[in-house]
Structure 1
Amino acid sequence: MTDTRLSVSTRAFLKRWLPLVVLGFAVVALLGGYVTYDAHVDGPETVVEEQTTGKWTVQSDFEHTAIVQRQTDVFTSGNRLENRPLYFTTVSPELDSSYTISHNNTDGEPATASVDLSLVVRAVEQQDEQTIVHWRARDSLATLDSVEVADGTAESATASVNVPAVLRRIEAIREELGASPGRTEALIVADTTVETTLGGESFTDTRTDRIEITPSDGFYRVSTSVQSRESYQTTETVTRTIEPSLLALYGGPAALLVGVVGIVGTALLSRRDWLAVSEREAARREFERARTDLDEWISSAEIPAPGNRTVVHANSLPALVDIAIDSDRRVLESDDRYAVIVGDILYTYTAPTGADPLDGSGGTTVQSERDATDGNTSDLLEPNTSPGDATDETAADSSADGDDDSDEV
């Protein structure tokens, strides 16, 4: 007898997974207790943070152009070619470069910039991932000496390089050395220093940017190499109080309560044996699962009386469905009774009854397996026919008219 208001499925689930359910409630209780302690006992949290009070950024850029000095079918004399990867030596022999330095200061302070533009000619070679400089010559092109740059503005320095003249100088150096090791290149190098104050502190940015000129037969290639924008910051230490959130204030105690009540409740249900599932309830639950799975083989219909047919009881609904499938028949269903008619044999199965606590029959006494199976045979008999009469009819001469094939469904 089961005295509980829980459904059979709920009791079966809790009975099977009771340790994990208790563990889950324990975890919820621990988390709720931790959050509750942190929110109500420790109170507001004080944190120390570094807060940015000022920012200074420095940025540089290199651009190059060349004017067409000789009229051709594809280039018009006087046109300016800008930032091309390649220029023709006979068409645009002079390369003009423009170097720009700019900055932004959140305090609005100006900066002092010094720029040295120079032409560097050198012979280099790569060995073991290192650049080996065999020889190097440097000439100054332009300078900016301690120029004041207002916040948010830029200053520029320009210089021009005659590429054929550079080539002649390279050739003269090679003849002077009597050798030409490595690869020869020409560079326009900008060495820059920028200084400013931010939040009462002094900051200095130094950078080296360049344009690389690689001469070849009748043309020269140009590429730029510029450092990325640099940022400098001033910070101060601030103390901030973080109040517990509403979720922590109320969610923590709620989780703690749910966890404790869950542990106590499941323990009480288990101790008083309120989670027990009777044999009848278990059998009914197993039958309902099978009934759902085998629905495609079952049809609702009136089950005829056995008449002269032999009544055979199946042990389960799946067994009865197997008989129907093997005999190319369907299972007939009438309430909790199921039957398959094959010739002069009536295969039957009566579903077990189960008392679910929610339907108010939790106190019903469990019947024996014999009552659940054999006790329902009389339901299949014709009206006014006793079980004994049915037995006598079954033992009658097999030539009786009642076993005509027309009785099959």
Structure 2
Amino acid sequence: MALEHRLKLFISENHRLVVGAFVVLGVLCLVGAGYVFSTPTTQTVTEETDQQAFSTQTYSSALVTRPSALYEQGERLENRSVYFLSASPSMTLDMTTSVPAGEPVQVAQRLELEVRGVRDGEPFYQSTRTIVDTDRTVEDGRAAASETLNVSALNQELAAIQQEVQSVGQFQLRLVMEATYRTESYEGTLRASAPFVIDEVAYYVDGSLVAEETESTPAQRQITQPPDPLEYGALGALGLLFFGAAAVVTRIENHVDPEELRTRIVHDQHAEWISRGEFPTNSEKQYISILTLEDLVDVAIDTNRRVIHDPQIDAYAVIDGSEIYYYALEDVEADEWLGI
């Protein structure tokens, strides 16, 4: 209750300032709501335009040219995880690059076989064999090239140089694919590589040879966003709330007695010194009026007595022998009741 009394007392003593502040805040909120409602915001966004996709990939296949228990002679094996030298001594590599159709695109394709001799991870020999090497302009969105690699002959070459090296090092093979494209708007290079493994009876590409890229051009544009109902609605509601608060403050100021509030505050502060009771009305007693309840509490503290609160007349008193020190908001009513 003490906080409520203090708040009411503050409003009573400063009601014009408080009402003015609430009114000003209410007007500002309503003006702000009107501004937000009538002023749409613009935002700059970046969009990717003129998107074009480019990709390249290499597929493997092998023709069964020798009788085999696994495959029929003349059968073509495509994109298998492994090929056998006894059945298919040669492998075909098909490289295809896809570009936007309907416009001239210059496409250069290159597929190489790298042979590296290494010892303890460090190279001591390297050679490159070009399998595919084309450069052309296409308009149908597709550039393709196909070449056959004699794996059996390659294996014999590797065996010969391995015989020369003995156990000092080993040879590693890798297929390296590269496609370069050039359009009116974009140019770039697609690259991929994968190990190529040949053992005693089989060979295979250890991975996929695929690369792709999407090109685009960033463009900025302005977009207008409509006002957010949550924003101007909240400001409008807040403005009305401030006007309502101003009305409440005015009502409180018209119905409160500042002196009574001060008395209530002191009552709450010194409640441990105040007890409920009735004053003696014996005419032999001497009644001494104290101007404020706080002064009366001081009297009680000085005389080591308690303050008696008589709620019937809303008065306070300290009884000290034949003397009664009292304080009441309504002095006339208290005097008449006490008969003085």
Native 8 Å contact 1:211 1:225 kept in 2: yes
Residue 78 of structure 1 and its aligned partner are, at CA, apart by 1.0
Task: State the partner residue of 1:45.
Answer: 41
Native 8 Å contact 2:40 2:224 kept in 1: yes
Task: State the partner residue of 1:154.
Answer: 142
Is 2:190 the partner of 1:193? Answer: no
Q: Distance in 1 between matches of 2:45 and 2:162?
A: 61
Q: Distance in 2 between matches of 1:154 and 1:122?
A: 33
| Structure 1 residues 243 and 122: alpha-carbon distance in aligned structure 2, compared to 1, 3 A threshold | closer
Deviations 1:85-110 (A, max 9, x none): 111221122111101101127xx432
Q: Secondary structure at the match of 2:100?
A: strand
Native 8 Å contact 2:190 2:211 kept in 1: no
Native 8 Å contact 1:111 1:150 kept in 2: yes
Task: State the partner residue of 2:110.
Answer: 116
Task: State the partner residue of 1:166.
Answer: 154
Q: Distance in 1 between matches of 2:120 and 2:224?
A: 57
| Structure 1 residues 262 and 58: alpha-carbon distance in aligned structure 2, compared to 1, 3 A threshold | farther
Q: Distance in 1 between matches of 2:106 and 2:231?
A: 55
* 1:206 aligned to which of 184, 189, 203: 189
* 1:140 aligned to which of 117, 121, 130: 130
Residue 44 of structure 1 and its aligned partner are, at CA, apart by 2.8
| Structure 1 residues 228 and 188: alpha-carbon distance in aligned structure 2, compared to 1, 3 A threshold | closer
Mind listing any 5+ residue stretches in structure 2 that lack a counterpart?
A: 8-25, 257-340
Q: Distance in 1 between matches of 2:120 and 2:187?
A: 33
Deviations 1:233-268 (A, max 9, x none): 123333x25243361575244332354357558878
Q: Distance in 1 between matches of 2:31 and 2:124?
A: 70
Q: Secondary structure at the match of 1:255?
A: helix
* 1:251 aligned to which of 229, 233, 256: 233
Q: Secondary structure at the match of 1:171?
A: helix
TM-score by length of 2: 0.57
Native 8 Å contact 1:45 1:243 kept in 2: yes
Partner letter of residue 112 of structure 2? S
Task: State the partner residue of 2:224.
Answer: 242
Mind listing any 5+ residue stretches in structure 1 that lack a counterpart?
A: 1-14, 19-28, 274-409
Q: Secondary structure at the match of 1:90?
A: coil
Native 8 Å contact 2:190 2:213 kept in 1: no
Is 2:249 the partner of 1:260? Answer: no
Task: State the partner residue of 2:216.
Answer: 233
| Structure 1 residues 94 and 178: alpha-carbon distance in aligned structure 2, compared to 1, 3 A threshold | same
| Structure 1 residues 100 and 254: alpha-carbon distance in aligned structure 2, compared to 1, 3 A threshold | same
| Structure 1 residues 40 and 245: alpha-carbon distance in aligned structure 2, compared to 1, 3 A threshold | closer
Q: Distance in 1 between matches of 2:237 and 2:211?
A: 52
Deviations 1:335-380 (A, max 9, x none): xxxxxxxxxxxxxxxxxxxxxxxxxxxxxxxxxxxxxxxxxxxxxx
Task: State the partner residue of 1:277.
Answer: none
Q: Distance in 1 between matches of 2:120 and 2:139?
A: 42
Q: Distance in 2 between matches of 1:227 and 1:208?
A: 8
Of all paired residues, the percent bearing the same amino acid is 23
| Structure 1 residues 81 and 211: alpha-carbon distance in aligned structure 2, compared to 1, 3 A threshold | farther
Q: How does 1:74-89 map to 2 (within 5 A)?
A: 74-89=70-85
| Structure 1 residues 156 and 249: alpha-carbon distance in aligned structure 2, compared to 1, 3 A threshold | same
Partner letter of residue 144 of structure 1? T
Is 2:42 the partner of 1:55? Answer: no
Q: Distance in 2 between matches of 1:231 and 1:254?
A: 49
| Structure 1 residues 142 and 40: alpha-carbon distance in aligned structure 2, compared to 1, 3 A threshold | closer
Task: State the partner residue of 1:218.
Answer: 201
Is 2:54 the partner of 1:64? Answer: no
| Structure 1 residues 174 and 73: alpha-carbon distance in aligned structure 2, compared to 1, 3 A threshold | closer
TM-score by length of 1: 0.49
Deviations 1:171-226 (A, max 9, x none): 222334455424x332333232111112xxxx221122335321123122323443
- Number of residues paired by the alignment? 238
| Structure 1 residues 118 and 260: alpha-carbon distance in aligned structure 2, compared to 1, 3 A threshold | same
Partner letter of residue 238 of structure 2? L
